[in-house]
Amino acid sequence: HRDTRTYATIGYAVGSGGADESSVFRQTGLQDNNDKFGGVSSFRYYGELLEPELSNLEIKTAALGFRPLRATSVDLVAHSYRQRSVAGRIEGANLQTRPRGFSPDIGTEWDLIVALEELRMLELEYVFAWFFPGDAFASDATSARFHKLQIQLRF
């Protein structure tokens, strides 16, 4: 099929930071950190689960995706997170546990995004995310998982 294709993405994002609030970059709140890498569905490109602000943070991203059909895509995305300056918080993160403030290694996240939009009246999207805490968290910190199924019907 002509529309079948594979695509790869490598990304690096950094937001300044420091121990004192005056040196920390903060996003405006107008950003959505949401886009497509080549598939049919947009997703949170800083991580579906962690979903951090780009503040005192360095994010390395590698992704591989393919479109087996014209309007169907599968994306596998890996993120590595490090703080620029060690701190006891991650701005905007969706974690209940906070880093201890002793290590810059926040951890890694894997995201799987499957989207199907072959039928005009139906859009289906499944997201699975798995975050593995790094040395910034307590040694007994466990991984976190996130699932989302979104179905949109048009009449």
pLDDT of the residue at 17: 74
Q: What is the 3-state secondary structure (H, E, C) of the chain?
A: CCCCEEEEEEEEEEECCCCCHHHCCCCCCCCCCEECCCCCCCEECCCCCCCCCCCCEEEEEEEEEEEEECCEEEEEEEEEEEECCCCCCCCCCCCCCCCCCCCCEEEEEEEEEEEECCCCCEEEEEEEEEEEECCCCCCCCCCEEEEEEEEEECC
Residue 16 pLDDT exceeds 60: yes
pLDDT band at 35 (very low <50, low <70, confident <90, very high): confident
Q: Locate the domains of the chain by residue range.
A: 5-153
